[in-house]
Amino acid sequence: MRTLLLRSLFARPVTIAAPSAENAALTEVGHALEGRIRRLYGRSLTIREVDAGSCNGCELEIHALNNAVYDCERFGLRFAASPRHCDVLMVTGPVTRNMKVALERTYAATPDPKWVVAVGDCACGCGVFEDSYAVIGAVDKVVPVDLHVKGCPPRPIELLRGLVALVDKATAKG
């Protein structure tokens, strides 16, 4: 009966339990992010994810940012359901011709100031899908991109590092 819930109440957080190299990097990245976002947005940077043609690999890793190990919310980063509620569009995939209008409309629906992060090799440069009649290519061919996070797909830790870089850029812009 509810042993899982009880254990959760008394367990140490998995997020900081194992101080391996990767977790150390995670903590370091996280604290850097927290300080900058607090100055800019009072600890809040809201993200809307848009799959504009991805194979779903990038989505799996972006999902992982929400799990207890990476727990991006502790850094003030959260994902919203609507572009109208967000500051950042995180776009994956080579933009397909069938998704071009949807991406443009999502961008238009996002209030200013806004930033676009292109996530993954396809979003950054078209990846393996180059030369297809069905693909426009990199995200910056459709909407302006403020940051590129490469990888196929990028690891969650690399995504967090990328968001730090974004906040650097956001400071310079704002």
Contacts to other proteins by CB under 8 A: 1-5, 7-8, 14, 49-64, 66-69, 79, 81-83, 93-94, 96-102, 106, 127-129, 131-135, 152-153, 155
Which residue's CB is nearer to other proteins, number 36 or number 107? 107
CA 91 to chain centre: 8
CA-based R_g, the chain, Å? 17
Which residue's CB is nearer to other proteins, number 8 or number 171? 8
What is the closest distance, in whole angstroms, from the C-beta atom of residue 51 to other proteins in the complex?
5
Residue 137, helix vs strand vs coil: strand
Cα separation values, 111 from 85, 106, 142, Å: 8, 10, 17
Which residue's CB is nearer to other proteins, number 101 or number 113? 101
Report the first-to-last Cα separation within the chain, whole angstroms. 52
CA–CA separation, 145 and 127 (whole Å): 17
What is the closest distance, in whole angstroms, from the C-beta atom of residue 47 to other proteins in the complex?
9
What is the closest distance, in whole angstroms, from the C-beta atom of residue 117 to other proteins in the complex?
13
